[in-house]
Amino acid sequence: MQKRHARPVISRLTQCLVLTGSFALTACSDLQFPWVYRINIDQGNIITQDMVNQLKPGMSRSQVQFVMGTSLIMDTFHDNRWDYVYTLQDSKGKRKEQRLTVFFQDDKLSAITGDFMPEQAQAVETKTN
């Protein structure tokens, strides 16, 4: 009878462990290969200056929703506040975020805060300064 050697079994086991380990490490790493196409990832409500310019104090909730779309965040604890958030992560991993918050009083638009302001409000603020 011939003796079986344990060395080929250990060698194959070592190869499998090294191969599995290298796959696991590259899957979790931040390596970026130049030939791999990465897409832009956008999430949330797209907010444009034209949309914000259409907002006027005293508009009803349904009018604001018609102009801006359904709010991404409707806080149950602050029923008079709607938050619109838009994030864009480009192919290089750079992230850009835009926010707009509208406030209602007696179901009418009362205030707007965030990265966008209606152009009429910007003109009034510039004149007062």
Top pLDDT among 1 and 83 is at 83
**Per-residue pLDDT, 5:** 57
Instruction: Name 36's Cβ contacts closer than 8 Å, sequence gap at least 6.
Output: none
- Domains identified in the chain and CATH numbers: 41-128 (3.30.1450)
Read off the pLDDT of residues 49-98 as tens digits, 9 standing for 90 and up. 999 999 999 999 999 999 999 987 777 888 899 999 999 888 777 899 99
pTM of the model as a whole: 0.63
Looking up tokens 């004149």 gives 127
Read off the pLDDT of residues 19-43 as tens digits, 9 standing for 90 and up. 777 776 666 556 666 777 778 888 8
Instruction: Give the span between the Cα atoms of 121 and 85, in whole angstroms.
Output: 21
C-alpha atoms less than 13 angstroms from C-alpha of 33 in its C-beta half-sphere: 5
